[in-house]
Structure 1
């Protein structure tokens, strides 16, 4: 049992000094709305600032860093205890690696307009297609370049050269470093990832340009000298099992149910003054901005993580969002994500309808390893926070802060010389064994891991979705 820090009564600086990097992932009071309203908590040790150019990482290593979450890194990576202490002989035989895309511009532009321009001239989003045959036409690589024409009478909400959202140069640099670090752990240290891609590796993304661009950067970090092209598998968007691709009425109805609870209403009550201030200052008074903290969090996070400042009013330059206000927004965002995927009374059904099919795909691959007939050794899938959150919920993570940029889950499957139970799993979240209601998932029988996640796979999704 983790002891609650006495530093709840300290200032934010004192609290940050008392927390270990691992503590910053698991605020023990996150289930309570007092977590939101207690300004002395600050960011609970989390980092929400990065320069425009990366790569960046929280210091010390392992700290919750919204701009670029920690990931497996050779300097800190430790073998599973039974392997490290040589009580068991074993080797890594399968890796399922899931990650959110890296840093980006915001999805949600302030209704009153943005007081700072966003510039993305240092990023080239490539857009071109070619035939599958190498003997066919090879097109010129083309990239999108945003501009404003002086004859266009319409003025964009944001000056500059970015699209919203799009990966930023810092996100690309973070992705490349992410890939290099994965190679140093799973390629160089463990001799597991092959020196070049082969038919035992498999990659997938959502249909978002954010996840596709991240894949290009990360995989280049893993294989910097590889000269060929790679398939990045994607489902048809209307039936995609990630990023809420398929239509399911039960998603919205279950969401309405959980947002009708007394706990949800209480968190809106304790933040009423903050939401009112932000709404008046930034012209953000519509329900989409006021009913959850998704939009405010997204806007503030994207600014701070790419070298920009917090916003000011477009009509009163002296009326600006303070860091204290932003910290409360971030704490409220953490509370909401923990409620969505861990503590609301409808959580099993909510995970089933939102992410159950994808969890089923993961378990099918793990089951193939268990059965000894897996056709791949290394699967790497590039997805979104809305996918990482429910997967961590299905694992029973103790507390869930918003899965930040580059958040990652590594399912490591180890084969041992134990004649009775040969296959064991370890699940790392952002580089460390995930702490859950089932205990720390640092060495568990593979069939037990499958049993933990199986209740979140719907037996009949079509009936459940109505």
Structure 2
């Protein structure tokens, strides 16, 4: 089988001089667009932010020793986690948006049921804009919530699930023909984004299933994903990272860009100027759902952001994520405070496989970019671009003359400082991740952080 992955687009040298300022780099092979109101099958050869690749039959290959016949092995367990699919933005431009968002073609269901009573009416949220609302002028017209899954994201989720079944169900015969409570574990954050994505993916995996399924989640205030639990030290470490000489140098290199955007969109506030999170989020959501890039709303000045500016914002976003979870001298501590407890949950399941006590064959967790990024950092990824929509990590456990792991990032073996994790003794993978699991997270979260 010929493998056509463009590893360069996944693993650029983000720390190289010029990454932030060299316009000729463009998006460095990245794809940042998707059609409106339809599925966007991933470009499986490259980093495609709007619809990241995932394991699928056409591109899937066995671990190298199994593929070349040097060992015989059986897949016995799959730990799969992914970001949600395409959505509307979190961050609305301070001066308001110059075009409406349309979500009439997706129905976010909102109802509760009980085994003690007859099933409820299936109500869904039907968002509308009221022209009499005086706050609408400086917001965005349309029929969406911000954020919410778009119909394109939902259709992508169906495709994602069908592809997972083709690989791990039909081909490798790991997934059960019908979901059950003993061999699968489904988990999400408390966000409607992850829950809605789960519904689409799981329907793709089990298209004939007619029952309800439990999607496990922890209480939002103490969730071990999506930064749910309170942790002052976590925010202090982030503040230290974003006060470092490297961060200040990056802000200096991008000052003219940020100031131009702030003037264009009335965004001269700390939230919009201290990182590239808000601008990137707004631009990504537009391009990923078939919308145009934003312009000013004033009739006398309809200036628009340029593609060159947007590409620079996306490169700066990549730099930001790489620095948070890989390049910063405080990255390891930050990963531990952000994601260490969830990494511990993953390791508990993997250790149960080692002990022969694991009844599960498949665990699937639906989370956010802020969960995928630190796990990639913990794995030692050699270069970390912003984890795109539906970005995913698959930890496959194979049984041969021992237990071996293969870690796929967006469908191909992840490249790390430990080498390619295509065929690694499971114990070694556990040793790679174990240092990021805190011994006492409550105590660690209360510790004072030296910002020097």
Structure 2 partner of 1:308: 291
Distance (whole Å) between structure 2 residues aligned to residue 158 and residue 149 of structure 1? 11
Q: Is the 8 A contact 1:103 1:306 kept in 2?
A: yes
- Counterpart among 87, 91, 95 of residue 70 in structure 2: 87
After TM superposition, give the deviation of residue 152 of structure 1 in Å.
Answer: 4.0
Structure 2 partner of 1:429: 409
Structure 2 partner of 1:129: 112
Structure 1 partner of 2:89: 106
1:216 paired to 2:199: yes
Structure 1 partner of 2:18: 34
1:179 paired to 2:161: yes
After TM superposition, give the deviation of residue 82 of structure 1 in Å.
Answer: 1.4
* Deviation string, structure 1 residues 222-281 (Cα, Å, up to 9, x no partner): 001100100000000111000000000111110111111111111000000000000000
Secondary structure of 2:323's counterpart equals helix
- Going from structure 1 to structure 2, the CA distance change for 1:154 and 1:318 (only over 3 Å counts) comes to closer
1:463 paired to 2:443: yes
Q: Is the 8 A contact 2:326 2:384 kept in 1?
A: yes
- Counterpart among 385, 391, 400 of residue 369 in structure 2: 385
Structure 1 partner of 2:306: 322
* Deviation string, structure 1 residues 47-88 (Cα, Å, up to 9, x no partner): 0011112321343x2310010000001001000111112211
- Counterpart among 161, 177, 180 of residue 195 in structure 1: 177
- Counterpart among 264, 270, 295 of residue 247 in structure 2: 264
1:139 paired to 2:120: yes
Distance (whole Å) between structure 2 residues aligned to residue 279 and residue 349 of structure 1? 32
- Counterpart among 115, 136, 151 of residue 169 in structure 1: 151
Count of residue pairs the alignment pairs up:
440
Q: Is the 8 A contact 1:57 1:65 kept in 2?
A: no
- Counterpart among 325, 331, 339 of residue 315 in structure 2: 331
1:406 paired to 2:390: yes
Q: Is the 8 A contact 1:49 1:304 kept in 2?
A: yes
After TM superposition, give the deviation of residue 337 of structure 1 in Å.
Answer: 0.2
1:449 paired to 2:429: yes
After TM superposition, give the deviation of residue 318 of structure 1 in Å.
Answer: 3.2
- Counterpart among 325, 341, 357 of residue 341 in structure 1: 325
Secondary structure of 2:202's counterpart equals helix
After TM superposition, give the deviation of residue 153 of structure 1 in Å.
Answer: 4.4
- Going from structure 1 to structure 2, the CA distance change for 1:145 and 1:52 (only over 3 Å counts) comes to same
Structure 1 partner of 2:34: 50
After TM superposition, give the deviation of residue 463 of structure 1 in Å.
Answer: 1.1
After TM superposition, give the deviation of residue 194 of structure 1 in Å.
Answer: 0.9
Distance (whole Å) between structure 1 residues aligned to residue 227 and residue 159 of structure 2? 29
Q: Is the 8 A contact 1:47 1:58 kept in 2?
A: no
After TM superposition, give the deviation of residue 159 of structure 1 in Å.
Answer: 0.4
Structure 1 partner of 2:450: none
User: With structure 1 as the length reference, what TM-score do the two structures score?
Assistant: 0.93
Structure 1 range deviating more: 310-319 or 123-132: 310-319
After TM superposition, give the deviation of residue 148 of structure 1 in Å.
Answer: 2.9
Q: Is the 8 A contact 1:73 1:431 kept in 2?
A: yes
Alignment of 1:211-290 (within 5 A): 211-290=194-273
Structure 2 partner of 1:148: 129
